[in-house]
């Protein structure tokens, strides 16, 4: 794609919604969500009217064939759909139905590892001289029989598992059932690019690349150094080491570049990659794709303390680090992290939504975030997350943020008519799509208003970002601007009402968290009162004042 065309790339226009397919909608009465379930919910996501959310793209967590040891992040066939979710024909129908509604499809792409049941791994482990031996990372034990080095697995224990057949260890960044592919092997790279082309030809609009930051490890297998900040009383075992050699994200540029080149053989596609990176590493990762169709995920908002000054500082620095055509993104939640509601509390959800949907770049919404779903209480005996089970650490379970979508107050929250694979959150009778759709004051209504405003506003989609100096340290305020049109956003991060001076202009309310201020209402004067945890999106009507 030529750089001139980038502003027309769908990524520049879309609000993205992450679907965890097991938990979204069950159409075939087996307790797990599936592709036909997603198709039946497409109108909720975007039916072309302001009654729906107005989503522009969905990222679906993995739906490939898989033994499901890590809920699909362990793939045994990259060219087929897991029967639990449906068939290739169902997937084709999903693409068709989504595209009909202007919704793009982002496929999850697990490139760091396969399932240990993948035929490639079965061949690789069968003998020392199997042609696929170097598709994975095998090493001899140390003289005493122990693993080749001290590397740890992110899902608990050593990152090496001994295999009796050839008396060598294989490396796995995650579960032993997820052996790492060896990206140094040319044939591996070639085959993975075939996978990319297969799905692009089928009509997907891009990829979310899983665990990009674990793709490359030290070729000399040097031991990871100890982490001096490790506290055995609070931290898990993985934190006891600094992963300088087992995880080398800045060495992955070469792989991103290959991926980018392959994806750009097709028109109007986009890649977003998973890396828990701070600003300097994100800036480096952006550089690895000169086509500018790749962004590293920005997960930093999930860790920031809920303070206007911290958010302003971060967004300013992130914006400053970006080159002209780098496309930022913002994320508040995903299937690996406790839900937003549990981190910041219900009172702050509206201001968080306003922030997410008015910043420059690609906003990501994790399913259920738009209705304020919280972490479900999952009894220890019902934990499904293999990472938590293997690490013997129930607290680290990711099940609570993966509970079934809350559609209504009926049986199983409308998710399906048999017992869901994970328990529901106990608030589903009050917190659900049906109830919130009828309430003009609900979080869901605010999400719809903000997304529709954004979808119809070139200023919010493509305009520049500039933060403002505020009188109160609890206010984060910024101007978005394009072609002489300006939108002012004012967000109150505190639990107190704040009177904030206004620049000398006339304004019109576009969206407000305060239902007493009607859309289209004029605002003038020297200041504006912002309710606790409230916010405004205002159109700047006259270009009198400077910002
Ligand atoms: C990151 C995914 O988001 C997570 O759910 C998964 O367990 C690991 N990668 C391994 O694929």
Range in 15-19, 263-267, 475-479, 503-507 the model is least confident about = 503-507
- Judged by average pLDDT, the poorest of 2-16, 23-37, 450-464 is 2-16
**Region of residue 72 (left: phi > 0; alpha: psi -120 to 50; beta: else):** left
Which amino acid residue places its CA nearest to atom 9 of ligand 1? 211
Tokens coding 473: 């340290």
Q: Supply the pLDDT for residue 525.
A: 86
Residue nearest to atom 10 of ligand 1 (CA): 73
Residues, the chain, total?
A: 547
pLDDT at 138 over 50: yes
What's the pLDDT at 3?
A: 47
Helix (H, G, I), strand (E, B) or coil at 60: strand
Pocket probe for ligand 1: among 73, 107, 156, the residue whose CB has the most ligand atoms within 8 Å is: 73
**Residue carrying structure tokens 């943020």:** 401
Atom 6, ligand 1: which residue's CA is nearest? 73
Q: Is the pLDDT of residue 547 over 80?
A: no
Q: Where are the alpha helices (DSSP H) in 203-339?
A: 253-263, 279-287, 308-321
Question: What strands, in cross-sheet order, belong to the sheet with 138-139?
Answer: 138-139, 168-171, 160-163
The DSSP output letter for 179 is P
Residue bearing the bigger pLDDT, 392 or 226: 226
Ligand 1 neighbours (beta carbon < 6 A): 70, 73, 110, 174, 210-211, 274, 335-336
Residue 544 pLDDT grade (very low, low, confident, very high; cuts 50, 70, 90): low
pLDDT tens-digit series, residues 94-117: 999 999 999 999 999 999 999 999
Report how far Cα 76 is from the mean position of its chain's Cα atoms: 23
Average pLDDT in the chain = 96
Q: How confident is the model at residue 6 (pLDDT cuts 50, 70, 90)?
A: confident
* Separation of CA 311 and ligand 1 centre (Å): 27
Tokens of 477: 């305020």
Average pLDDT rounded to a whole number, residues 229-251: 93
CA 531 to chain centre: 30
343 Cβ neighbours under 8 A, 6+ residues apart: 302
Active site residues: 210, 265
CA dihedral 462, 324, 490, 354 (to 10 degrees): 60
């Amino acid at each position: 794609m030529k750089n001139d065309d980038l502003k027309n790339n769908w990524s520049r226009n879309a609000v993205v919604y992450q679907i965890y397919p097991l938990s979204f909608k069950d159409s075939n009465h087996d307790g797990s969500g599936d592709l036909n379930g997603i198709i039946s919910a497409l109108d909720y996501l975007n039916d072309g009217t302001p009654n729906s959310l107005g989503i522009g793209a969905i990222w679906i967590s993995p739906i490939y064939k898989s033994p499901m040891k890590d809920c699909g992040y362990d793939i045994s066939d990259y060219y087929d759909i897991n029967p639990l979710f449906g068939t290739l024909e169902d997937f084709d129908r999903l693409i068709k139905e989504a595209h009909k509604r202007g919704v793009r499809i982002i496929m999850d792409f697990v490139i760091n590892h396969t399932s240990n049941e993948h035929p490639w791994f079965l061949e690789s482990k069968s003998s020392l001289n199997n042609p696929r031996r170097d598709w994975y990372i095998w090493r001899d034990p140390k003289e005493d029989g122990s693993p080749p080095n001290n590397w740890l697995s992110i899902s608990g224990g050593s990152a090496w598992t001994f295999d009796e057949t050839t008396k060598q260890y294989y490396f796995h960044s995650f579960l032993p059932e997820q052996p790492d592919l060896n990206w140094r092997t040319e044939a591996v790279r070639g085959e993975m690019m075939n996978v990319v082309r297969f799905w692009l030809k089928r009509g997907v609009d891009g990829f979310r690349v899983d665990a990009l930051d674990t793709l490359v490890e030290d070729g000399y297998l040097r031991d990871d150094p100890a982490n001096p900040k490790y506290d055995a009383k609070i931290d898990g075992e993985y934190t006891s080491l600094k992963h300088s050699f087992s995880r080398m994200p800045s060495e992955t540029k070469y792989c991103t570049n290959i991926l980018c080149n392959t994806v750009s053989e097709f028109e109007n596609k986009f890649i977003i990659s998973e890396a828990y990176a701070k600003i300097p590493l994100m800036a480096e990762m952006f550089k690895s794709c000169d086509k500018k169709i790749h962004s590293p995920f920005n997960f930093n908002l999930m860790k920031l303390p809920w303070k206007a000054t911290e958010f302003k500082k971060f967004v300013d620095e992130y914006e400053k680090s970006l080159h002209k055509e780098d496309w930022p993104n913002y994320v508040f939640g995903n299937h690996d992290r406790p839900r937003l509601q549990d981190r910041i509390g219900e009172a702050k959800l509206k201001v968080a939504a306003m922030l997410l949907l008015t910043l420059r770049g690609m906003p990501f919404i994790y399913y259920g975030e738009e209705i304020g779903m919280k972490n479900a209480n999952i009894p220890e005996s019902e934990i499904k997350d293999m990472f938590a089970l293997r690490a013997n650490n129930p607290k680290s379970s990711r099940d609570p943020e993966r509970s079934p979508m809350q559609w209504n107050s009926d049986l199983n929250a409308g998710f399906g008519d048999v017992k869901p694979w994970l328990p529901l959150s106990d608030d589903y009778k009050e917190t659900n799509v049906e109830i919130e759709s009828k309430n003009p004051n609900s979080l869901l209504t605010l999400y719809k208003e903000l997304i529709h405003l954004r979808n119809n506003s070139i200023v919010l989609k493509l305009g520049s970002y500039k933060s403002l100096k505020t009188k109160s340290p609890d206010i984060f305020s910024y101007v978005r601007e394009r072609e002489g049109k300006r939108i002012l956003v004012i967000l109150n991060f505190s639990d107190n009402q704040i009177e904030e001076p206004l620049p000398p202009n006339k304004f019109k309310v576009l969206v407000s968290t305060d239902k007493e201020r009607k859309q289209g209402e004029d605002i003038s004067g020297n200041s504006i009162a912002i309710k606790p945890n409230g916010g405004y999106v205002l159109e700047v009507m006259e270009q009198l004042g400077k910002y």
